[in-house]
Structure 1
Amino acid sequence: MQLPPEQGPTLLDGPPADVSDAHELLLGYLEWYREALMRKLDGLSDDQLRTPVAPLGWSPLGLVQHLGWVERRWVRWGFGAQDVVAYPPGGDAEEWVVAASASTAQLIAGYQAEVAVANSLTVRALLTEKARLGGRFKTPDQAPSLGRILFHLLQEYARHVGHLDVARELIDGQTGE
């Protein structure tokens, strides 16, 4: 007897069920969360994207901007040791502040550009490969492996996409994936 789809086994989020390679799983789940971030923004007006949500104190677009900085810090500056600005002027708190002069399209494009660079640095690297020295990490004992960095990014996204669930429910009552 076959069950109707709504009563059948729950499908997995993220990469296909037959993926078992750790590198592919980490990158696949990270991509799933990046896409979930964008899905959760869908349908919000520009004003809703920019207005800080009470009592959280940050806007959905501020969260996107923060995650762009997180990508930059951990992958470009951290893993790749690229010579980039790792924090906005004013520090951590400024990552969440959306400048009135920046368009939503510009902010989303900036985030997507950071993701593209991160993908280019991580797709062919081994999970055991250590971060290069000179950027975020100055000595070999400080430098984590790519696997550790990807796990960190994955938990950061999981946490913040969950936060965005709460924000979205407060904004317009929408819930779900």
Structure 2
Amino acid sequence: MPQPPEQTPAPLDGPATAAVDPRELLLGYLDWYRETLERKLAGLPDTLLRAPVEPMGWSPLGLVQHLGWVERRWMRWGFAAEDVIAYPAGGDAEEWGVPAGRSSQEVLAGYRAEVAAATAVAAAAALDDRARLGGRFRTPEDAPTLGRILFHLLQEYARHVGQLDIVRELLDGTTGE
């Protein structure tokens, strides 16, 4: 019986294959998903970046904007208890909807600024440090560790980047890795 041709497996995504440190793994995969989000947007013209896709009801740019709010809510308001606006006044419609007057570059810059702020917050703390009180969390019992918050962000990105794979294929036929 003929054997199928040998294929070289694709390299593993995320952090280095020898990584065993939980912090390196969490931050490495989170960075990989953040980069993947931007990679999946590459090449989309502005009209498609802004086009809501059914049945999702959001545009790729709206997803980026949402993830900027997620970064802010969990890291700055949540973990660091910064005095920032955690939710837009217009609720989900404003969080996911990009106004015509806001450029794609503004949305991407806002998202990248939130990622940079979240990265700085994470760099200054240990995984077992608990969230400060006063922002999202009011009591010591409610305050999760940085590790727990990073794990939440990781699953949020995994879910949304997977959804973006589908949206991108619906928009222009480009498939994910």
Shift of 1:90: 1.5
Residue 176 of structure 1 is matched in structure 2 by 176
Aligned length: 172
Distance in 1 separating the partners of 2:141 and 2:22: 24
Give the partner amino acid of 1:108: L
Distance in 1 separating the partners of 2:93 and 2:50: 16
Residue 117 of structure 1 is matched in structure 2 by 117
Shift of 1:124: 3.3
Distance in 1 separating the partners of 2:86 and 2:124: 23
Asked if residue 55 in structure 1 is aligned to residue 55 in structure 2, the reply is yes
Distance in 2 separating the partners of 1:84 and 1:18: 38
Residue 77 of structure 2 is matched in structure 1 by 77
Percentage of identical aligned residues? 68
Distance in 2 separating the partners of 1:166 and 1:18: 31
Segments of structure 1 that go 5 or more residues without pairing to the other structure are 1-5
Segments of structure 2 that go 5 or more residues without pairing to the other structure are 1-5
> Which stretches of structure 1, 4 residues or more, deviate above 2 A after TM superposition?
none
- Under a length normalisation based on structure 2, what TM-score does the superposition of the two structures give? 0.94
Shift of 1:92: 2.7
1:79-117 CA distance string (max 9 Å, x none): 000000000011133210001111100100000000000
Distance in 2 separating the partners of 1:28 and 1:60: 23
Residue 127 of structure 1 is matched in structure 2 by 127
Residue 3 of structure 2 is matched in structure 1 by none
Give the partner amino acid of 1:142: D
Distance in 2 separating the partners of 1:113 and 1:149: 19
Distance in 1 separating the partners of 2:70 and 2:93: 13
Distance in 2 separating the partners of 1:123 and 1:26: 12
Backbone CA RMSD of aligned residues? 1.0
